[in-house]
Amino acid sequence: MDTDFLEDFAAMSTHGATPGGGVEREAGTPEDHAVRAWFRGWLEEAGFAVRHDAISNQYGLVELVPGAPYVLVGSHLDSQPLAGRFDGAYGVLAAAHAAREVVRRVRAGELTAACNLAVVNWFNEEGSRFTPSMMGSSVLTGSLPLETALAATDRAGASVADAIATPGDALDLAVPPVAAYAEIHIEQGRGLEESGTTIGLVDRTWAASKYRIVVHGEQSHTGSTIMADRKDALFGAALLIVAARELTEELPEGLLHSSVSELELAPNSPVTIARRVEINLDLRSPDEAVLARANALLEERIAQVEQRARVRVERRLTHQWGLLSYQPEGVELARSAAAALGLTHAPTMTVAGHDSTNMKDVAPTVMLFVPSIQGISHNEGEATSDSDALAGVALMTEVTARLVAGELGADAAFVPGL
């Protein structure tokens, strides 16, 4: 058992630590830079060469088989505001400990490597400061142009290009070919805990539809404008927020998650009715038919809201995906490794997106979950028990060893353009 993992995790969690026991390390902030610097030190001490690519994904590389492609293992160290210590960060450190142990085994002759090995800390998985989320892996895998990502700005107008400029950091890297990818993450739900399972073998993602919605009203005086004359964009937005929740009550229980969590209004004045409100709205389901029904109902509700609030609603579908599968051979490798270690395990779906959701599109990918206590996430109270955390590190080590040995292939499945 990797007993110094917990000590390292505690040390890492001091970067951006909040009084409530969580962390706040939004992408590219001083706190993110601080944890990256700490992690670089850890990797260097463990013998990895530390580099970053053009979008600031951070890598610790070790060459085991000259010229061979790399197995990539990792997650992300950035966080939401007032977030927990585990989301992403647990997976990065678990991957690093796993990789260090695998390198030891190879060097000790206990394991024969077919691939090289790199730990990765993806840039801006969270997307709370810079949109979109999963930025680093989206750029690496080619679904997001580098220039678009670098030009993204936060609410204060700072760009990603500004935020990732770290003079003292290591050299840029031309990312080498990738043979396979593995990631471990907290579940962020209650499924594993409630079923008493230690390991979730992620085989699919929930389907999702994400909208950017603009409600167009008309500015007027909050006091003197008679109610019948009002075209209140905030009232329209409020009706939409309530409608999104009601969809989850109309459809079979548990089969639809809906949220509005971002809102901007203009002019945001105490005595002027809003002329414009912009919100995100997302719908997620483990059942594509339910999601299609929710999308259809949303369209009806929008028409009703337009009438009732006398506003115009502009809706843009920004992301949509169905039930996306991880490669069955990756799930099987993970199952076999968990069984070998005697860990309880079950197939599971992920509701949240992860960097592995991008990586599975370009390379054989293994995605693992450990339990979240009470399903709490994106919250300072987020937690995973020590024993589950350590079980995950042990499994990640076994999975990484099998990937380095070439169990999912030793060819270059993906040659990054970065």
Give the interface with a second copy as residue ranges (CB under 8 A): 80-83, 126-128, 131, 133, 187-190, 206, 208, 218-227, 229, 232, 234-235, 237-239, 241-242, 245, 248, 254, 256-263, 265-275, 280, 282, 284, 350-353, 374-380
Q: Look at phi and psi of residue 389 and say left if phi exceeds 0, alpha if psi is from -120 to 50, else beta.
A: alpha
**Closer residue to a second copy (CB): 377 or 397:** 377
366: DSSP letter = E
% helix, strand, coil for the chain, step of 5:
35, 25, 40
Cα(52)–Cα(68) distance, integer angstroms: 20
Q: Which amino acid is at 318?
A: T
Shortest gap between Cβ of 22 and a second copy (angstroms)?
A: 9
**Closer residue to a second copy (CB): 254 or 417:** 254
Shortest gap between Cβ of 268 and a second copy (angstroms)?
A: 6
**Closer residue to a second copy (CB): 69 or 127:** 127
**Closer residue to a second copy (CB): 104 or 245:** 245
Q: How close are the terminal C-alpha atoms of the chain, in Å?
A: 36
**Closer residue to a second copy (CB): 330 or 353:** 353
Cα(161)–Cα(147) distance, integer angstroms: 9
Q: Look at phi and psi of residue 71 and say left if phi exceeds 0, alpha if psi is from -120 to 50, else beta.
A: beta
Shortest gap between Cβ of 284 and a second copy (angstroms)?
A: 5
Cα(242)–Cα(60) distance, integer angstroms: 46
What are 180's two structure tokens?
């396979």
Shortest gap between Cβ of 137 and a second copy (angstroms)?
A: 15
**Closer residue to a second copy (CB): 218 or 361:** 218
Shortest gap between Cβ of 408 and a second copy (angstroms)?
A: 27
**Closer residue to a second copy (CB): 161 or 265:** 265
Cα(347)–Cα(329) distance, integer angstroms: 13
Q: What are phi and psi of 9, to 5 degrees?
A: -65, -40
Q: Which amino acid is at 161?
A: A
How many Cβ atoms are within 10 Å of 231's Cβ, its own excluded? 20
Which residues neighbour 383 within 8 Å (Cβ) at sequence distance 6 or greater?
Answer: 84, 86, 372, 373, 376
Shortest gap between Cβ of 381 and a second copy (angstroms)?
A: 9
Residue 270: asked if its preceding bond is cis (omega within 30°), the reply is no
Pairing between β-strand 70-75 and β-strand 272-273 as defined by DSSP bridges: unpaired
Tell me which H or E stretch contains 315.
strand 312-321
Shortest gap between Cβ of 129 and a second copy (angstroms)?
A: 8
Shortest gap between Cβ of 343 and a second copy (angstroms)?
A: 22
Shortest gap between Cβ of 188 and a second copy (angstroms)?
A: 4
105: DSSP letter = H
Answer yes or no: are the C-beta atoms of 316 and 235 closer than 8 Å.
Answer: no
**Closer residue to a second copy (CB): 80 or 141:** 80
**Closer residue to a second copy (CB): 127 or 136:** 127
